[in-house]
């Protein structure tokens, strides 16, 4: 039996397509990247997950490559530049900055998945690997600079910054794979050892 068609005109609200900002696409791309890897960051599945058409995507991004670039920009900004700015703004002394940095980076609930996803992506993509190397160098240099400021000689500061960074990356990998987060007291004890002259 054929369904009777409504003679009522569709409401203006229903006729208008749902629009999203670029940040919503980036947030959904993060979820896909964390769950499925970079191959899971595709326009059609993202549109379906967001409940919009692909037209919404192309309003904000030229193509998938532009979205992937935006993901990396977002990661570098939020996970490095913004963290350094906040630590510097919140704390005056280098010692306070080091402790604030370790608290902030180990307490971030999204950091393990984001770091793991970007590093897995970088294992297969040269341009992402280059970005990772730049970000890693910036992060280590920031920690080394703070260690020098608390009295650690430069050569040791660089080695200790690397050791701390490797510990953090290991922590992120462990937590991303379902392990329990390390207690704050353990991180603070490590930091106390690292700032010894």
Domains annotated on the chain, with CATH: 17-61 (1.10.10), 72-194 (1.10.357)
* Alpha-carbon dihedral sign for residues 5, 6, 7, 13: negative
Contact 67, 25 (CB under 8 A): yes
Q: What is the DSSP string of 119-168?
A: HHHHTT-HHHHHHHHHHHHHHHHHHHHHHHHTT--HHHHHHHHHHHHHHH
From CA 42, how far away is CA 33, in angstroms rounded? 10
User: What is the value of pTM for the model shown?
Assistant: 0.84
Tokens (6 digits) for 81: 């530049």
Per-residue pLDDT of the chain (197 residues; tens, 9 = 90+): 433 434 343 333 343 345 689 999 999 999 999 999 999 999 999 999 999 989 889 999 999 999 999 999 999 999 999 999 999 999 999 999 999 999 999 998 889 999 999 999 999 999 999 999 999 999 999 999 999 999 999 999 999 999 999 999 999 999 999 999 999 999 999 999 999 98
Tokens 């037209």: give the residue: 55
According to the model, what pLDDT value does residue 16 have?
A: 39
From CA 165, how far away is CA 139, in angstroms rounded? 8
Tokens (6 digits) for 47: 């549109």
Q: HSE (CB half, 13 Å, CA atoms) of 181? A: 14
According to the model, what pLDDT value does residue 17 have?
A: 47
């Amino acid at each position: 039996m054929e369904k009777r068609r409504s003679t009522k005109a569709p409401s203006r609200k229903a006729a208008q397509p749902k629009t999203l900002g670029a940040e919503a696409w980036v947030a959904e791309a993060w979820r896909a990247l964390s769950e499925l890897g970079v191959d899971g960051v595709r326009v059609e599945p993202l549109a379906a997950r967001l409940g919009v058409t692909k037209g919404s995507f192309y309003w904000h991004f030229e193509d998938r490559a532009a979205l992937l670039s935006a993901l990396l920009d977002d990661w570098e900004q939020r996970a490095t530049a913004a963290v350094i700015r906040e630590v510097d703004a919140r704390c005056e002394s280098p010692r306070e900055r080091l402790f604030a940095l370790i608290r902030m980076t180990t307490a971030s609930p999204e950091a393990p998945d984001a770091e793991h996803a970007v590093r897995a992506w970088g294992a297969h993509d040269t341009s992402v690997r280059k970005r990772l190397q730049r970000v890693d160098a910036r992060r280590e240099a920031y920690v080394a600079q703070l260690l020098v400021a608390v009295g650690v000689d430069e050569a040791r500061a660089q080695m200790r910054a690397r050791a701390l960074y490797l510990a953090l990356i290991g922590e992120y990998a462990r937590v991303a794979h379902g392990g329990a987060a390390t207690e704050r007291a353990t991180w603070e004890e490590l930091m106390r050892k690292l700032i010894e002259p």
